Amino acid sequence: METSYIVTFIGNDRPGLVEQLSKVIEAAGGNWHESRLSQLGGKFAGLVLVTLPEDRAAELEAELKELSATGLSVRVTPTEANVALAATRRIKLSVLGPDRPGIVLEIARALASRQVNVVEMDSEVQSAAMSGEAMFKAIIEADVAPESRLEDVSDALDEISNDMALEIDLEELES
């Protein structure tokens, strides 16, 4: 029988880091399924979904934890088997505007209070082409609970958009 784990890691960015992780996973009989890896602030961080034979799970955990000697912080978390997900609608938000504290908090608060679950978010701050002003940019994918009205979500985001001088575009994605 197979089991699944989420492996999270962070360490100083350097060549060979992904190879080092994948070598340990493969040696334990694991299969690297999905991942989100990124360089942020001179560090390299990631999430990896790994499956492997159940009898090799302890070996994988031990080997990955030994990587801490190389300066890599690793955490291994078992996944939940057969989690039933409620039917939801997927939306995509595109956010752009002058950078300032509180943008993510206000958007996250508006979404959470309307039973909208953020499932993926990428954000960055860039310099505006002409002015050089720091501009916050985010792409957010989220699942809307069946009982939530998209109009209510849109109205809340419009209010944030007006208060914080942001462009927030909401698009419902195809299932």
pLDDT above 90 covers what percent of the chain? 83
Under CATH, which number does the domain 2-78 receive? Answer: 3.30.70.260
Same topology for domains 2-78 and 89-172, yes or no? yes
Report pTM. Answer: 0.83
Cβ neighbourhood burial of 5 (10 Å; 0-12, 13-18, 19+)? buried
Query: Which of 37 and 68 is assigned the larger pLDDT?
Result: 37
Cβ neighbourhood burial of 24 (10 Å; 0-12, 13-18, 19+)? buried
**CATH homologous superfamily, domain 89-172:** ACT domain (3.30.70.260)
Confidence of residue 81 (pLDDT cuts 50, 70, 90): low
Cβ neighbourhood burial of 35 (10 Å; 0-12, 13-18, 19+)? middle
Residue ranges per structural domain of the chain: 2-78, 89-172
